[in-house]
Amino acid sequence: MLSDSGSSAPPDAIPVTLTINGQERRLRVAPWTTLLDLLREELDLTGTKKGCDHGQCGACTVIVDGKRINSCLALAVQKDGASVTTIEGLSSGALHPVQAAFLEHDAFQCGYCTPGQIMSAVALIEEGRARSREEIREHMSGNICRCGAYANIVDAVEDVLKTKSSSFREAAE
């Protein structure tokens, strides 16, 4: 177990325990610290991005207790006891299939929305709700890509879904 004092944590900081990328961490966080700022500013996990800080872009998407959320709108203290997976925890060594598919399909350009897109796609695949390109599009619409890589993002997600499941509709549209 790691114990981080949190150098800039004020004296009224609250102790929380979070399992981040499989590692249990005891932290002290101010109540107004969002999960996103905790990751980026305190823990140097800058793979999770801040694009709008208001839940309007999805760049900050992480998986908390198995569900994708916007980490910018979650207060870290509220997540005491939770398990958090960020882009840094998705793979060790070889790329996760979704990461590999993004690379292969050129599903990004500037890369800034990419970790959020990938975390969202990983969760989408787990949710099991996307069975057509149309459904991928809708359920990936919480992640804005200003470079406009959407068509390639759908290709990448579809590719992974097809290898995982035969129920994906080939020509649903």
Partner 1 sequence: MATPSRYVGTAQSRQDGPAKVTGAAKYAAEFTAPDLAHGVVVSSAIAKGRITAIDTKAAEAVPGVIKVLTHENKPRTAWLDYNYRDQVAPPGSPFRALNGPEIVYGGQPVALVVAESFELARYGASLVRVTYEEEVPNTDLEKNRDAAYVPPKKRSGIKPPPDPRGDAAGAFDKAPIQLRQEYKQAIEHHNPMEPHASTVVYEGDGKLTIHDKIQGVNNTQGYVCGVFNLKPDDVRVITPYVGGGFGSGLRPQYQLYLAVAAALDLKRSVRVVLTRDQMFTFGYRPETLQTVALGADKDGRLQALTHDAVAGTSTFEDYQEAVVNWSGLLYHCPNVTLDYKLAKIDTYTPSDMRAPGAVTGIFALESAMDELAYATGVDPLELRLRNYAERDEGEGKDFTSKALRAAYEQGAARFGWSKRKAEPRTMRDGRELVGWGMATGVWEAMMMPSSASATLTPDGTLELACSTADLGTGTYTILAQIGADALGLDLDKVTTRLGDTALPEAPLAGGSWTAASSGAAVQAACRTVAEKLFGYARGMADSPLANADFAHVTFADGAIRLQSDPSRKVGIAEAMRAGGVETVEATEKVKPSMLTNMRFSAYTHSAVFAEVKVDEELGVVRVTRVVSAIAAGKILNLKTARSQILGGVVMGIGAALEEESMLDHNLGRIMNHNLGEYHVPVNADIHDIEVIFVDEHDDKVSPLGVKGLGEIGIVGAAAAVANAVFHATGKRVRELPITIDKILG
Partner 2 sequence: MNRFEYTRAGTVQEAVQALAADPAARFIAGGTNLVDLMKYNVERPGRLVDITRLPLDEIVQHEGGLRLGALVPNATVAGDPLVNERYPLLASALLAGASPQLRNAATTGGNLLQRTRCYYFYDEGTPCNKRQPGSGCPAMTGVNRIHAILGASDTCIATHPSDMCVALAALEATVQVEGPNGRRAIPFAEFHRLPGDEPQRDTTLRRGEIVLSVDLPDEDFSKHYTYLKLRDRLSYAFALVSVAAALEMDGDTIRKARLALGGVAHKPWRNAEAEALLQGKRATRETFREAADVILAEARPYAHNAFKVELARRAIVRGLSQAAAGTPQSQTDKRIA
Residue ranges that bind partner 2, judged by CB under 8 A: 14, 31-32, 34, 53-55, 58, 61, 67-70, 72-75, 77-78, 120, 123-124, 127, 129, 132, 134-135, 137-139, 141-144
Q: Taking CB within 5 to 8 Å according to partner kind, which of partner 2, partner 1, none is near residue 111?
A: partner 1
Contacted entry of partner 1, partner 2, none for residue 4, CB cut-off 5 to 8 Å set by kind: none
Closer residue to partner 2 (CB): 49 or 139:
139
- The option from partner 1, partner 2, none interacting with 86 (CB < 5 to 8 A, set by class) reads partner 1
Over the chain, what HEC string results?
CEECCCCCCCCCCEEEEEEECCEEEEEEECCCCEHHHHHHHHCCCCCCCCCCCCCCCCCCEEEECCEEEEHHHCEHHHHCCCEEECHHHCCCCCCCHHHHHHHHCCCCCCCCCHHHHHHHHHHHHHHCCCCCHHHHHHHCCCCCCCCCCHHHHHHHHHHHHHHHCCCCCCCCC
